[in-house]
């Protein structure tokens, strides 16, 4: 489950009302324009947590009219109501004015070409100017083209050049000194992906512009302007559909027209349709990369038009998720990287829909949208925009601007204690040994949490705070500053990372030992503790295990490079060790960024690697532990076509391993891994892993639908977090059907619902309260039954001594009989 942390920008009160917001496409830089009638307008740049960049501040007596970031450089184009235009550079704040008197009316157009080699400016008087910039984003002389249309300019887009360029001829021209040819190569090199120039993806030198009277013109690199078409009303939006060579035009009265464009510069109308909804100034309209037109116009629905499939539909809010009756949707923004549509409401909420692709057996796809729990802010939300490579969301309401960053809810289980994040600053804590539950509220946003028998450690990304358990309350006993990519706790030691080393700290933050990695071994980025062992994974795909049982951490093995053993390895995704430190389990992503189908097991003592392939449903050897070929085929069919996305070793039993898997061809294809635990068709698969027998399938069962995800395996229970359905007062609450309050004291429950539930392992149903001797015997029984050693399984039964022992042995005998059958 993900939650969005909100950071209010650090804007001076004198700035007045915010009028403009825009993100840099790659860097976490937010430009904000504001206007105060008493002091004038200003533009500021803010960082991802709302920190204001002092040097990047410009003021004028008038209001800023438009803001546009260079696509790759940290250069901001600013247009003012007086026609003045300047380029503001982050972080030093240099600003370059475009030549005076170029524009004398309010700026209405600011548009960078795809690589930033050209900048188009236009104004209310109809003056259009094209500028050339160098590789650093600086003006290269005066403008290269100027046109006057005598009508206010409303829109501007660049058309990609058709893939008909002769690459060899272009290269020869570039070598001989042709600046335009050279520019095309340079522009591609400075683009988002870099790499080699290809003729189908180069800079477009044809510009389409529109005027307030509904006229659309094309302008080429030589300054020739040709009237293409005229529509009824003011043009609100232009979009070029490259695959079909179609220009789509939307007017402020919501008239959508599509025109085919021929090579000679003509346009022929293909269709014209009146879109439903309210147009005018309140209309907010966005195009997506897959050619969806999405609009919000201040009513209770979002409208979508699929131009490729000629389909349209609406999205609405759901009161069961925490929205209010009559809540209006004012503005929209779509994040292609996350496949998430965000909308701002009149009641201060941000609604988000996850874009989901459904695939049937014929391979046909259909798009669905799943409404998420709202993010509650305040005021009437008037603007929002996704941006930067971090996929941050800027939200403008009636009083301020907030930056939302996604954070997967933190959770942790250890030594019969569990912590689950309820809100950015609140944790739900459960102690199963004392049957108590309570909450912890912090002063900062929680980015990670670790629980031990006596402490709860919270990290906000910059500061670590340690709380000590005292009855039904917690008290802060230590706090220190720490910038680390990962953090884990074992007993009284805190483990953090910095380049090429793991730091072993006291609870007060003092570094008392360094676990050093060579430059080739890389920087530690993953830490995991099981029992008294620490597993470490690096950004160069090296893994290592340390023994923490002594005064100083001791390495059990040299760093092992998984890239040498795993084909097509892109990066490590998860590294865990068992309770004896003898086995490492590893999940990875492939070179193409997709999750691998396999879970890998590295035997620390034997220095060997094995795996289980969930795509085929077989281990490395391809053999099943079952002697029944029909049963083996059935088990393989149940496991096949899946991939693992989370993994855990038993807290104390070194042989027992569990992972969650999901169908590769599940009907829910969600690109963002933070939503992985929301997927349907999740199976929880448990294995025994030993040196002698290898990997043995023990059990496979579907995860209950109302549960969010697996938190831990601690025999005799699986521990799950509850699925969060809605939130009240800024705090998420669990699915009402999963509130397991039977084992908790009544006095401990009312503060808030606990978020962790237990489900017994298959062989422990009815034996949940057994003592350690019985539990160990039961595990041995399960293991020997799995490998088919019935004599040892019967011997394990004889060792079981518990309350109602005869009943327990009888149930085990029935289990053996059912297995034999």
Average pLDDT of span 649-654? 96
Question: With 80 as the cut, is the pLDDT of residue 188 above it?
Answer: no
Q: What was the pLDDT predicted at 418?
A: 96
Q: Which residue has the tokens 């309260």?
A: 769
Question: Which residues face 493 on adjacent strands?
Answer: 490
Q: Look at residue 653 and tell me whether its pLDDT is greater than 60.
A: yes
Q: What is d(CA 631, CA 621) in angstroms, rounded to the nearest whole number?
A: 17
pLDDT one-digit tens code per residue, 110-147:
999 988 889 999 999 999 999 998 877 788 778 888 99
Dihedral Cα 673, 677, 679, 681, nearest 10 deg: 130
Phi and psi at 343, nearest 5°, equal: -140, 140
Report the top-level CATH class of 282-408: mainly beta
Going by pLDDT thresholds of 50, 70 and 90, the confidence category of residue 401 is: very high
Tokens (6 digits) for 611: 């795996």
Joined tokens for residue 96: 């370059």
What rounded mean pLDDT belongs to the chain?
Answer: 84
- The C-alpha atoms of residue 342 and residue 335 are separated, in whole angstroms, by 8
| pLDDT digits 0-9 by tens, 711-726 | 999 999 999 998 765 4
Interacting residues of 2 by C-beta distance below 8 A, sequence separation 6+: 406, 407, 408, 409, 674, 675
Calculate mean pLDDT across residues 464-470: 92
Tokens of 624: 């099943």
State pLDDT tens for residues 61-94.
Answer: 999 999 999 999 999 999 999 999 999 999 999 9
Q: How many CA atoms lie within 13 A of 409 on its CB side?
A: 27
Q: At 418, list the tokens.
A: 């569990």
Q: Which residue has the higher pLDDT, 601 or 312?
A: 601
Give the 3-state secondary structure of 671-707.
CCHHHHHHCCCCEEEEEEEECCCEEEEEEEEECCCCE
Tokens found for residue 134: 């160098």
Local structure of 135: helix, strand or coil: coil
pLDDT at 197: 33
What is the biggest distance separating any 2 CA atoms in the chain, rounded to whole angstroms?
97
Q: Please check the confidence at residue 172 and state whether its pLDDT lies above 60.
A: no
The whole-angstrom distance between residue 254's C-alpha and the CA centroid of its chain comes to 33
Where residue 636 falls among pLDDT bands split at 50, 70, 90? low
In this predicted structure, the answer to whether residue 363 has a pLDDT above a threshold of 70 is no
Q: Give the β-pairing of 225-230 and 215-219.
A: antiparallel
Give 502-556 as a 3 state SS string.
EEEECCCCCEEEEEECCCCCCCEEEEEEECCEEEEEECCCEEEEEECCCCCCEEC
In the block, tokens 């009641």 appear at 347
Taking CA atoms, 414 is separated from 141, 520, 657, 749, in Å, by 65, 33, 16, 21
pLDDT above 60: residue 735? no
Q: How large is the average pLDDT for residues 570-586?
A: 96
Q: Whole-angstrom Cα distance, residue 428 to residue 415?
A: 16
CA separation for the pair 484, 518 (Å, rounded): 18
What's the mean pLDDT in 399-423? 92
Count other Cβ atoms within 10 Å, centred on residue 528: 21
Which residue is listed with tokens 């670590």?
Answer: 464
**Whole-number pLDDT of residue 371:** 93
- Alpha helices by DSSP H, listed for 215-350, are none
Bond into 688 cis (ω within 30) = no
Q: What percent of the chain has pLDDT over 70?
A: 82
Q: Which of 710, 699, 701 is nearest to 758 (CA)?
A: 710
- CA trace torsion 562, 568, 572, 575 (10° rounding): -60
Least confident of 259-268, 309-318, 356-365, 773-782: 356-365
Peptide bond preceding 91: is omega within 30 degrees of 0, i.e. cis? yes
pLDDT of residue 182: 56
Please give the Cα distance from 9 to 268 (Å, whole number): 48
Q: pTM of this prediction?
A: 0.73
DSSP, residue by residue, 459-479: E-SSEEEEEEEETTEEEEEEE
- The distance of Cα 670 from the centroid of its chain, to the nearest Å, equals 10
What is the Rg, in whole angstroms, of the alpha carbon atoms belonging to the chain?
31
Per-residue tokens: 360: 């049937």
pLDDT of residue 750: 31
Q: Residue 160 carries which DSSP code?
A: P
């Amino acid at each position: 489950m993900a939650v969005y942390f909100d950071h209010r920008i650090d804007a001076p009160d004198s700035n007045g009302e915010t009028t403009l917001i825009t993100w840099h496409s790659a860097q976490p830089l937010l430009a904000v324009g504001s206007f105060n009638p008493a002091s004038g307008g200003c533009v500021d740049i803010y960082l991802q947590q709302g920190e204001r960049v002092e040097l990047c501040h410009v003021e004028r007596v008038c209001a800023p009219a438009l803001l546009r970031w260079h696509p790759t450089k940290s250069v901001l184009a600013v247009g003012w109501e007086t026609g003045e235009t300047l380029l503001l550079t982050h972080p030093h704040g240099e600003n370059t004015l475009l030549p005076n008197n170029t524009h004398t009316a309010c700026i209405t157009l600011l548009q960078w070409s795809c690589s930033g080699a050209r900048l188009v400016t236009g104004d209310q008087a109809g003056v259009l100017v094209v500028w050339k910039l160098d590789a650093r984003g600086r003006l290269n002389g005066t403008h290269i083209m100027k046109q006057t249309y005598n009508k206010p300019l409303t829109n501007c887009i660049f058309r990609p050049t058709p893939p008909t360029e002769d690459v060899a001829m272009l290269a020869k021209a570039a070598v001989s000194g042709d600046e335009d040819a050279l520019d095309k190569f340079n522009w591609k090199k400075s683009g988002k992906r870099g790499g080699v120039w290809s003729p189908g993806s180069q800079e477009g030198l044809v510009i389409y512009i529109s005027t307030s009277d509904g006229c659309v013109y094309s302008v080429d690199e030589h300054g020739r302007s040709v009237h293409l078409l005229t529509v009824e009303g003011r043009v609100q939006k232009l979009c070029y559909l490259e695959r079909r060579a179609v220009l789509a035009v939307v007017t402020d009265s919501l008239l959508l027209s599509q025109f085919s464009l021929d090579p000679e510069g003509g346009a022929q109308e293909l269709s014209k349709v009146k879109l439903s909804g309210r147009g005018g100034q309140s209309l907010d309209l966005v195009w997506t990369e897959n050619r969806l037109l999405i609009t919000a116009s201040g009513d209770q629905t979002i409208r979508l038009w699929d131009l490729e499939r000629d389909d349209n539909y609406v999205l609405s809010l759901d009161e069961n998720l925490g929205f209010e009756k009559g809540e209006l949707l004012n503005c929209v923004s779509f994040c292609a990287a996350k496949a998430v549509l965000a909308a701002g409401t009149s009641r201060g909420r941000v609604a988000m829909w996850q874009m989901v692709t459904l695939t049937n057996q014929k391979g046909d796809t259909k798009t669905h949208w799943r409404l998420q729990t709202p993010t509650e802010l305040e005021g009437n939300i008037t603007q929002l925009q996704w941006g930067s490579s971090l996929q941050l969301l800027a939200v403008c309401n009636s009083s301020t601007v907030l930056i939302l960053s996604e954070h997967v809810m933190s959770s942790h289980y250890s030594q019969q204690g569990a912590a689950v994040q309820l809100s950015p600053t609140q944790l739900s804590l459960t102690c199963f040994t004392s049957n108590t539950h309570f909450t912890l509220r912090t002063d900062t946003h929680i980015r990670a949490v670790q629980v031990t028998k006596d402490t709860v450690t919270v990290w906000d990304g910059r500061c670590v705070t340690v709380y000590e358990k005292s009855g039904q309350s917690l008290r802060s006993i230590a706090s220190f500053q720490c910038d680390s990519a990962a953090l884990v706790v074992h007993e009284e030691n805190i483990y953090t990372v910095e380049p090429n080393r793991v730091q072993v700290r006291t609870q007060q933050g003092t570094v008392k030992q360094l676990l050093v990695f060579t430059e080739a071994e890389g920087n530690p980025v993953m830490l995991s503790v099981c029992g008294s062992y620490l597993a470490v994974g690096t950004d160069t795909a090296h893994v290592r295990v340390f023994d923490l049982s002594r005064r100083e951490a001791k390495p059990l093995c040299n760093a092992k490079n998984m890239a040498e053993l795993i084909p097509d390895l892109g990066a490590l995704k998860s590294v865990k060790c068992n309770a004896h430190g003898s086995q490492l389990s590893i999940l990875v992503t492939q070179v193409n960024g997709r999750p691998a189908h396999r879970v890998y097991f590295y035997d620390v003592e034997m220095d060997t690697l094995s795996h289980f392939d969930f795509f085929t449903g077989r281990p490395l050897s391809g053999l099943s532990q079952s002697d029944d070929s029909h049963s083996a085929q059935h088990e393989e069919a149940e496991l096949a076509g899946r991939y693992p996305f989370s993994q855990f070793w038993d807290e104390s039993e070194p042989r027992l391993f569990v992972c969650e898997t999901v169908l590769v061809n599940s009907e829910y294809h969600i690109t963002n891994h933070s939503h992985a635990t929301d997927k349907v068709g999740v199976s929880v698969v448990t294995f025994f892993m030993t040196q002698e027998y290898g990997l043995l399938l023990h059990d496979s069962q579907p995860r209950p639908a109302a549960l969010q995800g697996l938190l831990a395996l601690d025999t005799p229970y699986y521990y799950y977090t509850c699925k969060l359905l809605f939130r009240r007062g800024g705090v998420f609450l669990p699915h009402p059907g999963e509130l397991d309050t039977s084992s908790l004291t009544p006095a401990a429950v009312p503060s808030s619902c606990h978020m962790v539930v237990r489900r017994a392992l298959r062989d422990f149903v009815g034996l949940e309260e057994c003592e350690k001797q019985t539990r160990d015997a039961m595990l041995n029984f399960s293991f020997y039954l799995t490998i088919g050693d019935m004599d040892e399984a019967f011997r394990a039964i004889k060792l079981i001594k518990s309350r109602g022992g005869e009943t327990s042995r009888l149930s085990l005998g029935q289990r053996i009989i059912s297995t034999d059958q």
